[in-house]
Each structure stands twice: as structure tokens, then as C-alpha cells.
Structure 1
Amino acid sequence: MFLVLCAVVFLVLCAGELAAQLPTTQLKSLSRVFLTVGSEADMSIASSADGDEITALRFSHPGITAELLIDAALPFDDSVQPRYGHFHVRVANDVPAGRYDVWAVGRLGVSNPRTISVHPEPTDLLSPSHDVAAPTELPLEKILQANASIAQRDFYHIHVDENQDLSIDLIAQQVDSRMIATAELRDADGRLLSVLTGSDHVDLTIPLPVGLAADYLLFVHDVLYRGGNEYPYGLVLHASDAVERASTHRSDERLVRSISAGAVEASQPADERSDDMESPRELAIPGTATARFDSASDVDYFQCQLTKGQSVAIEVLSERLGQPTDARLTLHRRSTDADGVVSWQQVAAGDDSFNLSDGPMSFKSTDPVINYTADVEATYRIKVQDMDSGEMLGKTQSYTLSVTPLSPSLKLLAYLPYDHRDINVTRPSGVRVLRGGLQPLRVVALRQNWSGPIELNVSGLPAGVHCAPVTMPAEHSVAQLNLRADEDAAASVAAIEVNAKASIGDQAFSIVATPTTVQWEKDAQRNSLRTRLVSQLLVSVSDLDVEPITIGMDDPMPIVVNKGDKAKLAVKLTRRAGGEKTPVILRGRDVPAGVTARDVTIAADQDTGEYTLDVTANAKPGTYRIWLQGETKVKFAPNPQSLQRATQYRDRLQKMRDDPNLSDQHKDLDAAIQTANKRVESAKPQANPRDFTIFPASPMVVLQVN
């Protein structure tokens, strides 16, 4: 019954270091994040890091495609000149409205995903007015996209006809924007009518007054007056009674249901009132009901019948659907004394439903859940209230309450970590596996009334990439798989899946892990990391680069050790270009409590070493999977091919300049050579080997403690 839509990650930034990890494309923002069904539009990379030579955009729906734009050929050259990072995007007529993931693919691999939002309404880009006397007109049923402005407010004008019931959706969080929006609604004379402020994962809906025809002003800005390409937002003015738009403006229910327990449709209408304690809404089992918190003090009541020994899961789904709520559940049992006096006794309460950490990642939800087994047959009353009593996010929030039989269940989340010696340092990053390299893949298990072992394997791997299956031991919640590329692996981009097999009682079942991704790293205004679910895990393989150093084990067989003894791991390094003469520090990871693992350094002139695990008397017997993380400095050239191309072109021009038969073209050739020299100079920084600190991972080692 658990679901996690967001992760809160606290991190500490390390200052004054060499570049950590070899460069991999990081996609920060796109020029356009709102598209219309059946439309075409130009789209470019608005902001990126290590975004060298981006040649493709890959979307999570096959009906959305991108074609790389082409520039005119260079002087005296007929070859095609790609306009890296610039595309013409087409959305097919049969693409459903909704949110989709997009990845950039370039010289430095596939990027982290970003979100685009596809709508039935027309969309347009604009630079909004910053003059309150000349506000930008906000039309009906058209999505306007803008970027929040630094230290400024964006001004919009809205006209409402008599008795017209309209609302404005301000969409930012749902398209991976850094913007936390603030919206001020004012009348035509500038008098303040309302102020709403969003939050992480929560956007705004601004209702307009209904009655006489009137004009209104809308002031929009980031709550901290930040702005730029990484702060896009959309505005759409629409009828308030319009059908909810396919989750395009709020959380994507397609992703929600992918890791929620088998959700059933609401068995009660959403507009049936629930706030009368003496007449609670009756729920069958299994059953669900949709309701809403109509005010900060609203409390809703439901009722169900339980027999003795009957076990149920009572759960609220709200925050995970993008609602700004912090709900709480309370369960009371009805009893009647000998005199016929009825009383209600509290028997259970539930607040936040889940909180599970893996290194820097902390998966949690503020939606509550109660797992309860009735000790007597009785009537039970469920009380639902919102502990977040503020109204800056709006006065009305919705939720779904479900009561279902309590049964064992398993959900899995998978993510590709950003490796560093301090696991709290993380950021959005793509995945590029170099030839001979190894990429960790983490899997987190969300268990419900079940603790058995889980067999994990990866499907969809590109040719030349391998991943050994792993068994997550019973009662464990985290496991690591390792993707390993051959020395001659071909270039590719592939969507992979983490598949799991397990048994609950006599019933065997299979599930697929739900991918997660990092949205934004910590910045100067926030001390937490934002993450979200994603539709796919994409990995890329580079055939132009090799991993400078990889860590292997001479004997990867399971190690059996008794408490009070020591286990020794024989480590072997494979050194390649850039990693020939550099010391490597080894650190134990996923080491269980009661086992001491101290750092070991393999000298620059050595390729082998030994890592010791001291299994103390406090160690808990069991099976564990541990691995070693290295740290070393290497020399690496991110993109020497760009310099090779630029130099070859300049040399061809120079050869033509030296041809006496082309003396009549010297003027044009001299101008072309001058431009070519600039291209050569601009390519040199990415072609010259630079110092990078990398953190290679070893294969997994099974440690059996007796």
C-alpha cells in the first residue's frame, strides 16, 4: 500500500575539488516545455552542463519525435553541419494529453530526463510584460509559456464576463521547473484580492470571482524572485467546471498508479459530504471514496464494519497526487455499555506512511496509512483531517480514502546513483558507460507485511553490456546491481528494466521496478534535493572512450566468516590510458553493522591490493552484499574528436590556400582559415586531457556472517 512520489535528500557540497566523475550530459532546461497535440514546433537546449554536440532528443512516447536542424555547409566544404542542440519537434495527432519524459543524447552520453507537457489547447511562447500599466493579455483556453524573471514580476490582464466561472492554472513544478510560484490576483484598481504560493511538487489554481463582468490583474513571480531558463512556467485560463485535464496540470496518475497498491475506482461520489461526525459515510471493504478538505478546519468521517480478526489497510492518497496536504488518520471503535450508552474509543492512528533511506536518498510520503486487525466485531469510524492548515496553496484540497484487506505486497524503485566519496553529494546526471567501465544501479524495496528474498535482474541491456543477477536477502530493503561494458562495446542508447521475482507464501510473482530520477540538486536557496518518478531508465555506451581504471576481484566467490574473524578481499586494478600511475583509495560500501571496514590505498605503482573486513562479535549473522568504491585522479580528454575535425578542416583550407591554381580565391580562403582557426581554439579545452576525480565501483561480494 506504500507509494513514494518524492524524495527529500540532504546534501553537503564539497568545495575546492577537481571535477568529480567523468563528464556526462546534464540537461537542465529546454526552450519549450508545452506542446499541442498534432502540432510542430522548434525546441532547443536552453541550459545544460557537459552538453557537447547534442544530436538527438528521445521522448517517452513514440508519437513525439525530434529532427536535428542543419546549418549551411562551411566555406569550401560540402559536408552537413549539424546545429547541435536545436530540433524540430512533431507531436502526432494520436498522442494523448499528458506529461512525457525527454532525454538529450550527445557526445557525452544520454542526459537525465526532463518533462514536457502535451495539451489539447494551443501553446505559445512569450516574454511577459513587466509594466503593470501594459500587462500581457491572458486568453481563454490557450497555454502561454514564459520564464520567471529575476527580481521582477510578470503582469497579466484577464477579462471575465458576467457570471463566467473561470480559473487560472499556473504550471511549473509539473514541468521540472525550479520555480516555486507566487500569484497575486488584483482587481482593475490594483486592490489585492488573493495571494497563493506553491511548493515543491505543487502548482497553483487561481479561482476568479464570479458575478459581474470585470477585469483583473495577475502578478506572477518566483517566491524568491529567481528566474531564467531553469524557471519556466505556463498559464492557462479555463472554465472552472472543465473536466480535469488528463493529469497534465497535476501529478501524473499514470506514474502514481505504477507503484501504488492496486488502486480501485472510487465507490463514492466526490461531492458527497463527509464532515458530519454523527452521519459518517459508509464504506464497504474493499472500497474507496473521494473527498476534499473544504477549509483549514475541515474534518471528514467515514464508517466501516469489521469482524473479529479481520485485517485491513486504511490509506489516504493525496500528497502523492500533488495535493498540498499533510493528512492524518484516526480510527475509533464503537462500543455500547449495559445502559445502552454509545462511546467511541480510539484504537489506532496514522500519520506519514513511509520513510525509507538509501544513502542520500530518503523516500517518504506524508500520506497516512493504518494497518489494523480488529480484536472484536464492531463498527469503526475513520477520522480524516489535514494537519497543514495554511491556505497559501489554496483553500480546497482533494484526497482518496481506501479501505482494503491487508495483504503482503512489494513495490520496487530503481535509480542510477551519482557516485562520489560523499554519498550526499548528488545532482541530476545522465548515464554514460565507457568501454571496460562499470555503472552501479540501486534498487529499493518497499515491503508490506512481507520480508522474503527478491531475485533481481536487468533486461533490455545493449549489446556488449552485462549485469549479473542479484538476490536481495530477506528483510533487506536495498540492493545494488552493476552494469559492466565490454572492452569493445558498441555505441548505443537503451531503455533497461529491473525485473524481480519473489514468492509470498506459495504464490510466485514477478514485478518491474519503477525508475526514479533526480530533478534538482541543492542550491543556495534550498538544502534539499528534489526527485520524481520517471517512465524509463536510459543508459548510453560510448565507443569513443575507455574507463581509465576499473576495480576487479581475484576471487569473487562468496566469503564465509565467523564473528570475531577477519575476511580478506583480493583486489585487482585494470589500468588504462589516463589511469596508469595514480594511487587508488578503496572504501567499503553497504558494509553491515558490526563489521569494521577501513580505507585502503593501492599505491600508484601497484595493480593489486588487499581489503580487510573485521567481523566483530556484534555483527548480526546473515548474508550481505558489499562492494568497494574507489577514489582516484585520472587524466581524461572529454572530446578530442571535435579538435580533430576542426583541425582537419583548417588543414584542408590551408592546403587549398597553398594551391597556385586557387590564387583567385585567396581572399575567401583567408577569411575561412581565420574562422577555422577560431574553431580549432574553441575545441582545444575539450580535447586536452584534464584532471578528474573518479569513483569507480567494484563487483559485488557476498559476505556470509556465521
Structure 2
Amino acid sequence: MTCHDSLADGSVKRRAPLRCDLPTRLIQLTVLALFACLACQRATAQLPAFELRGVSQCFLAAGSESDFSITQGTHNSLADRLLFSDPGIVAQLKQGAARAFDNAAQPSWGQFKVKVAPEVKPGRYEVRAGGRFGLSNPRAVIVAPQVHALTTPPHDINNPPSLAIDTVHCRQTAAAKRERYRLQAEAGKTYRLAVFCSSIDSELIPVIEVVSQQGNTLLRKFGNDRSDLTVDFSAIASEPVTVCLYDALYRGGPTYHYGLLVEDTTQPLEWTDHVQAFPPSAISRVDLPSELTAEISDATTLTIPAAIRARFDHSRDRDQYLLKLSQGQAIDMHVLSDRINQPTNVRMLIEQPQGEGDGQTWKRIATVENGQNVTDSVIRLQTRDPIHRFTAPAEATYRITLIDLDNGQSLSSVQDYGFFAAPASDRFQLLAYHTYPHKDAKTSRPHGCCLRKHESCVVRVFALRTGKNEPIKITVDNLPDSLTCTETWIASNQNQADLIITAKEDIDAATIPLNIVGQSINGDSTSPLVAAKPAVVQWPSGGSRTSPTTRLTDQLIVQTQPLDTMPVQVTLAPGQEKLQIQKGKPVNVKLQIKRAEGGKNNIVLRARNLPADTKAGDLTIPGDKTEIEWKIEVGGKAVPGTYSFWGQGETKVKLGVHPEVHTAEVQYLEHLKALRAKEETKDQHAELDKQIAATTKRVEDLQKQTQPKDYTVYLAGPAITLEITP
């Protein structure tokens, strides 16, 4: 723990740390810097794909026009377009000054003018950037009725800017500084202070303080990096107070944006309910009832189906409900709180009555504390919300008690929740996301999906089942002819599978949304199609994060890019798309390797998502091989069913990038030389010679940069379907 003093300019002076001496701190910072460098090196090992990390504006006002730029990203060269999730928000690339002896204006790559139509509703939207290496991952922006973007940092302790009610004040934090604002409070009024950070994909871990004129701290609340922070402040005196906002780790920069909103609790704003970013586990959430159930001392009697909205009003709050059930009646019950970003850890107690009248007691017959727990080390679908299927052992009125075990007060003193009970029904939900190509399954980062000719990407699909575990067939609906994708199966004893999407030879530059659907199959019986909800990685692990942060997104998108070709591709030989094999026996999968210039190296093929009790050793494919067989061994304990797995190939390829930049510079050089040769430019020869020399140097430099480079790549494919029989 470290103590801090505030200086007049808003900066933070650190006193002697209690647990960490200066050399130790320097070592920590050095290690973090080293990890950052290593992370960058890993990123460049793959073929380039647009990674969007930061933008200049995260808050826009309806009917406004503003400058908007890419402030941080990887492989964001020639960024020439923005794609917003609402057609009412459009962007135009800004144009810079023309170069010497050239009348054409030069594009200002990555800099835009954004217009928001007046009819765009307040809420949360997504933006993606496009460039030479496809379309980026999404970042979030919020459209609000009133936005004030501060141009001067609010760091002055003596003269902070005033906070206007119902206006979003936005900017980014600065390292080791506090943001300060002045609020003219009225005695007896309660103000709601909302810090938007997670909802705009900010790395900020917010801390908010309210300080009186005498320097007394009236309120202090800590947030986290998974949700926004909202607190209520009740003024006891009519006086100006200072509202301080800063990052819990005193960080700042282009990825630490925030929006600070103050509203009167007697006139709450409706639009703020529609800006939350939800975790992947929220695919199983339902809408909360609009009305809040009144708090009563006795148990509330409910009828099936039941749906209520309530609150844990204090740390010792225990809410109880009564459900009358017949013997053998099965119901699905669940609490919705953790999945909507409430800092809760709910325990559900199910009790059966014993005896009658004054002598009646309650016998606990079930305790439920958590719901689903599905993960792949990147996407985590676990939740602390209780989810339970209950079958009544006898006809009785059962008592359901809900207790919040997370009764700390630092994040919030009041937590919302929903309680739902309905007749039991078998169903499933699907979630899909783009995996990051790497041999370490734990490695991930935000990235776009850029498919060159013959290149493939992997989309992982999770299944959350309620009730029966039936096989689920996964497909991509309405896929264009330029892409191929074999159906994949999530077997009854699995909860995830991978889709391999491949670009053909004949592709155009296109933005293609993916509509991934699943259907459970039980003999001749099939369920209706269920659409997968998309998810995205916000930030990789590292620093203060022990695991990647992820959230739901609006859609999954693939961008095809015809300028380059993947030099090597591993595919299935004809007739190998679906293999039938008896358990306890091996099978050989015939593979074909398509190679072009730059793809002549050895390939190491590793199996991914193999079914239980099935083995496939790493296969080394020599650089001169175009055909090979892969031995798959199915053990005697394998469960019969249809399974899908695939091979990830690690190899080195040579690929040139940005040849069009070199070509454009060569054309400009030829244009200058042609002008130099004209008689009428005699008086400009000196300036032309200067420009020709500088351009020649740039052409030579670009020639070196665009030469084919070695990349370590992880090939996706081939996708293999195994039908294991008894």
C-alpha cells in the first residue's frame, strides 16, 4: 500500500510506500515493460490484422459533427473508413494538403469527420475501423443527449470546472493525476454520479470521491475494470463540493477514457439504462420486470411462472419467496444479478416445510450458489448467479431464501437482482467469438478478422444447455460463395466446438457479417434454430488483469482482402469430410497441402478439440510434401456420437506487404521527373531536384520494407468430422 498527497496542479505526490521499496518498484516496472515488448513481438509473428485499441472520442451527441481519430492500434496502416453499428452515424476521411507539384489532396489516414444524425437514439454503439489489413475489432461509443468534451485537463485543485446536471463530461485520465470538478450541491438533494468506463471499453478502474470545502471526504467509492461505477451522494449542506475522479492504479492515456454524469435522482435519465456492456455469461439473461417489488418482512408468495425485480438493500438482507408445487413438478429457477454487472454473490436456499401451524419448521433440501461454468481460458461463461432445476419431492409450499454473500460496501451498498421460476424446459444458448491464432490457447488479444485468398479463421462456439445434453449441429447461415465453412458438431458430452471459415481464390474486398446458428438433434427430432450471440475480447491479460476481459458485441464480421494470398493451405482430400470409425480402432485422414511461393517450409500439425479418449499425435509435414496421412486413434472408452475437431498448422511463410504504397511513391517520383523534363519548369528545377532526391530516398526505403518477410503463422484447418460408432 502507498500513501499519496495531492498537489495544486492535480498531480499525485507519493509518500514512502509501506510495502514496496524503490528498487522493488523499479524492478516491477521493468518487468511490466518487458512483458509489453514481448506482447508486441508475439503480435508481429502473425500475418497482419487490424487491432484497434484507442479512439479520440468515446462520447458523441445526437445531431453533432466532430473530429474523430484512431489514437492507438496495430496494423492500422491506411485506415480509411469507420463502420458504426447505426447507419445514422457516418464518418468521412479527412483530406490533408497536397504534396509539392501535385494538386491532389492527400488522405489523412486514421482521421475522420463524424456526423451523428439528430434521430439517433441515446445509447451504446460500436465502431470498427477499416484499412489495408481488413476491418478491426469493435470499440464502443456512447451517444448522449448532452456531451461536453473537455479540451483543458481538469487538474486545477483551486479552480476546477463546474459539473452541469444531465451532461456527460468526457476526456481521458492522465497518469498520476486526479480529475477534479465542482458540483454546486443543494442540501437535502441526492445526486447520482455515474462513471462510464467499461461500457466504452476503457481500461480505467475508477475511483470517485466527493470532498467538502473544508477538505473532508464525504464519499469514496472504488469500481473495477469489468463494469461502470454508479454511486449516490446525499448533500447535507448547500455548498460547492469537489468531485474527484482517477484510476485506482493512477494510470492514464488514450485507452483510459471516461464519461462523468451527474443526475438528480428525482428525475432519473432513462437512456443510461441502455449503455451497459454485458459479460459473455449474460447470454442466458432475460429482461428484468420494469417494476421493483416492494420490500416486506414476510415471505412473498409467487405463482409459476414468476418473474420479479428486487434489491438487496443492506448487507444482512435476506429475501424470501414461497412457491406451491405438486409432487414431481419440475421448475427452472435462477437469479439474475452477477450477469448484469451487479457486485453480488447470491446463495439460494430451498426449504421444505415440516409440520403445521405454530410448530412448523423448515428443512433445507438444497443450497445453490453458482450457475454455469464453461470456459476455454479466454471466454469465461461462469456466473455467481444461482441457476437450478428443482423437482419437488412432495406436494408442499416451498420457501426460497436469497442471500448476498458479497456484502462489502466499497462497490455499492444496494444491489439489484431478478428472480425467475418457470416450468422446466430443455433449451440451449450459443455464444461465438473469433479466436486469436496462437499455439497457446491462453493467448488472446483484440483483433479483427482479415481473410486473404486461401486463408482461414477460427470461430469458437459455446453451448450452455438447460436440461438434456443433446448433440448440436452448428452452421453459418447465408454464407457468400466466396467463403466456405463445414458444419461442426458439439457432441452431447461437449460444450464447445470450432468453425473453420476459409476464403476462396476468387474473392473481392467485402465486409461479411456472420450469422451462426445451432440446432439440437435427437434422432429424427430437431429443435428450432438458435442464433449464437457474439462476443469479443476487450483487452488481453497482463498488468492488473490476470485474464482477458471480454464482453458481448453486436455481431461477428469477416473482412475479405484480395490483395494478398496465404502461401500455404492444408485441406482434406476428397471424400474425407466425414469419417465413420468404430471405437477402439484407428483411422487415417488423408490430407492435401497446397503451396505457393513463400510456403515451402515444414508444417507441424496439432490436433485441436479432440473428443475424449481420442489421440492424434503432432504431424510434421515436410516442405516438399503435397499429400500425407494423419493417424487418429479412437480409444475403447470413447462415447459414440458425431464430433468435430481440426488441425492447427504451425509454419513459416514469406509474404510481402504494402506493395501498393511503394507503387504510389514510384508513380509520384515519375510524375516529378516528367515535370523536371519540361521546358516551362526551368525556374523550378532546384525545388524539383530537392523533391526528386527526397522521393527517391523514400522509394528506396519502401522497397526494402515491402520485400517479402518471414512470418510464423498458425494455419486454421482442416476441419474433420468423426462419427464414432459402438
Q: Would you call these one fold, judging by a TM-score over 0.5?
A: yes
- Alpha-carbon contact 1:641-1:687 (below 8 Å) kept: no
- Report deviation, 1:681: 6.2
Matched residue, 1:331: 350
User: Does residue 39 of structure 2 align to residue 19 of structure 1?
Assistant: no
Query: Secondary structure, in 3 states, of the residue corresponding to 1:363?
Result: coil
Query: Secondary structure, in 3 states, of the residue corresponding to 1:242?
Result: coil
Matched residue, 1:571: 591
Amino acid at match of 1:260: S
Taking structure 2 as the reference length, the TM-score comes to: 0.90
Q: Aligned partners of 1:390, 1:220: CA distance in 2, in Å?
A: 21
- Alpha-carbon contact 1:348-1:370 (below 8 Å) kept: no
- Report deviation, 1:373: 0.8
Query: Secondary structure, in 3 states, of the residue corresponding to 1:601?
Result: strand
- Given candidates 76, 85, 89, the residue that maps to 1:60 is 85
Query: Residues 373 and 515 (structure 1 numbering): CA distance in 2 closer, same or farther, change over 3 Å?
Result: same
- Given candidates 593, 618, 636, the residue that maps to 1:617 is 636
* Runs of 5+ consecutive residues of structure 1 not aligned to the other structure: 1-10
Matched residue, 2:314: 295
Matched residue, 2:167: 142
- Alpha-carbon contact 2:59-2:147 (below 8 Å) kept: no
* Larger deviation, residues 217-226 vs 540-549: 217-226
Q: How does 1:406-555 map to 2 (within 5 A)?
A: 406-502=424-520, 508-555=527-574
Q: Aligned partners of 2:43, 2:257: CA distance in 1, in Å?
A: 32
Q: Aligned partners of 1:367, 1:354: CA distance in 2, in Å?
A: 9
- Alpha-carbon contact 1:358-1:444 (below 8 Å) kept: no
Q: Aligned partners of 1:59, 1:622: CA distance in 2, in Å?
A: 42
Amino acid at match of 1:228: G
- Report deviation, 1:356: 0.7
Q: Aligned partners of 1:124, 1:249: CA distance in 2, in Å?
A: 21
Query: Residues 18 and 468 (structure 1 numbering): CA distance in 2 closer, same or farther, change over 3 Å?
Result: closer
Matched residue, 2:614: 595
- Report deviation, 1:673: 3.4
- Given candidates 410, 419, 428, the residue that maps to 1:401 is 419
Matched residue, 2:96: 71
- Report deviation, 1:228: 0.5
Query: Secondary structure, in 3 states, of the residue corresponding to 1:200?
Result: coil
Query: Residues 610 and 360 (structure 1 numbering): CA distance in 2 closer, same or farther, change over 3 Å?
Result: farther
- Alpha-carbon contact 2:50-2:76 (below 8 Å) kept: yes
Q: Aligned partners of 1:661, 1:652: CA distance in 2, in Å?
A: 15
User: Does residue 689 of structure 2 align to residue 664 of structure 1?
Assistant: no
CA deviation digits over 1:581-612, x for unaligned, max 9? 21111111111222222112112222232222
- Report deviation, 1:443: 1.3
Query: Residues 69 and 449 (structure 1 numbering): CA distance in 2 closer, same or farther, change over 3 Å?
Result: same
Taking structure 1 as the reference length, the TM-score comes to: 0.92
User: Does residue 31 of structure 2 align to residue 31 of structure 1?
Assistant: no
Query: Secondary structure, in 3 states, of the residue corresponding to 2:428?
Result: strand
Matched residue, 1:201: 226
Matched residue, 1:313: 332
User: Does residue 260 of structure 2 align to residue 235 of structure 1?
Assistant: yes
- Given candidates 359, 369, 385, the residue that maps to 1:351 is 369
| Pairs aligned (count) | 688
* Larger deviation, residues 605-614 vs 665-674: 665-674
Q: Aligned partners of 2:501, 2:427: CA distance in 1, in Å?
A: 28
Matched residue, 1:638: 657
Matched residue, 1:185: 210
Query: Residues 462 and 702 (structure 1 numbering): CA distance in 2 closer, same or farther, change over 3 Å?
Result: closer
Query: Secondary structure, in 3 states, of the residue corresponding to 1:676?
Result: helix
- Given candidates 581, 604, 609, the residue that maps to 1:585 is 604
- Alpha-carbon contact 1:98-1:252 (below 8 Å) kept: no
- Report deviation, 1:667: 3.7
- Given candidates 573, 580, 586, the residue that maps to 1:560 is 580
- Alpha-carbon contact 1:119-1:248 (below 8 Å) kept: no
- Report deviation, 1:449: 0.4
Q: Aligned partners of 1:657, 1:546: CA distance in 2, in Å?
A: 38
Query: Residues 36 and 683 (structure 1 numbering): CA distance in 2 closer, same or farther, change over 3 Å?
Result: farther
Query: Secondary structure, in 3 states, of the residue corresponding to 2:715?
Result: coil
Query: Residues 17 and 395 (structure 1 numbering): CA distance in 2 closer, same or farther, change over 3 Å?
Result: closer
- Report deviation, 1:637: 2.2
Q: Aligned partners of 1:577, 1:261: CA distance in 2, in Å?
A: 50
Q: Aligned partners of 2:672, 2:406: CA distance in 1, in Å?
A: 69
CA deviation digits over 1:249-301, x for unaligned, max 9? 75258x999933664735xx415104x2xx11222211211111122222222
Q: How does 1:41-56 map to 2 (within 5 A)?
A: 41-56=66-81
Query: Residues 264 and 142 (structure 1 numbering): CA distance in 2 closer, same or farther, change over 3 Å?
Result: closer
- Report deviation, 1:340: 5.3
- Given candidates 355, 375, 388, the residue that maps to 1:370 is 388
Where relative contact order (Cα < 8 A, 6+ residues apart) is larger, the structure is: 1
* Larger deviation, residues 529-538 vs 93-102: 93-102
Q: Aligned partners of 1:667, 1:235: CA distance in 2, in Å?
A: 56
Query: Residues 623 and 153 (structure 1 numbering): CA distance in 2 closer, same or farther, change over 3 Å?
Result: same
Matched residue, 2:283: 259
Amino acid at match of 1:578: G
Query: Residues 156 and 626 (structure 1 numbering): CA distance in 2 closer, same or farther, change over 3 Å?
Result: same
Query: Residues 490 and 432 (structure 1 numbering): CA distance in 2 closer, same or farther, change over 3 Å?
Result: same
- Alpha-carbon contact 2:281-2:382 (below 8 Å) kept: no
Matched residue, 2:692: 673
* Runs of 5+ consecutive residues of structure 2 not aligned to the other structure: 1-34
Query: Residues 92 and 679 (structure 1 numbering): CA distance in 2 closer, same or farther, change over 3 Å?
Result: farther
CA deviation digits over 1:216-262, x for unaligned, max 9? 11221111111100110010111123335334575258x99993366
Q: Aligned partners of 2:50, 2:477: CA distance in 1, in Å?
A: 24
- Alpha-carbon contact 2:378-2:547 (below 8 Å) kept: no
Query: Residues 441 and 377 (structure 1 numbering): CA distance in 2 closer, same or farther, change over 3 Å?
Result: same
Q: Aligned partners of 1:18, 1:120: CA distance in 2, in Å?
A: 39
Query: Secondary structure, in 3 states, of the residue corresponding to 1:364?
Result: coil
- Report deviation, 1:330: 1.2
Query: Secondary structure, in 3 states, of the residue corresponding to 2:684?
Result: helix
User: Does residue 297 of structure 2 align to residue 272 of structure 1?
Assistant: no
Q: How does 1:81-100 map to 2 (within 5 A)?
A: 81-100=106-125
Query: Secondary structure, in 3 states, of the residue corresponding to 2:439?
Result: coil
- Report deviation, 1:174: 0.8
Query: Secondary structure, in 3 states, of the residue corresponding to 2:528?
Result: strand
- Report deviation, 1:551: 0.5
Query: Secondary structure, in 3 states, of the residue corresponding to 2:718?
Result: coil
Matched residue, 1:164: 189
Q: Aligned partners of 1:595, 1:469: CA distance in 2, in Å?
A: 20
Query: Secondary structure, in 3 states, of the residue corresponding to 2:685?
Result: helix
- Report deviation, 1:426: 0.8
- Given candidates 593, 605, 628, the residue that maps to 2:647 is 628
Q: Aligned partners of 2:424, 2:375: CA distance in 1, in Å?
A: 24
Matched residue, 2:19: none
- Report deviation, 1:76: 2.0
Query: Residues 476 and 288 (structure 1 numbering): CA distance in 2 closer, same or farther, change over 3 Å?
Result: same
Amino acid at match of 1:361: I
- Alpha-carbon contact 2:280-2:431 (below 8 Å) kept: no
Amino acid at match of 1:313: D
- Alpha-carbon contact 1:295-1:396 (below 8 Å) kept: yes
- Alpha-carbon contact 1:257-1:263 (below 8 Å) kept: no
- Given candidates 240, 245, 265, the residue that maps to 2:270 is 245
- Alpha-carbon contact 2:650-2:713 (below 8 Å) kept: yes
CA deviation digits over 1:615-634, x for unaligned, max 9? 33343333321211100011
- Alpha-carbon contact 2:281-2:383 (below 8 Å) kept: no
- Report deviation, 1:119: 1.2
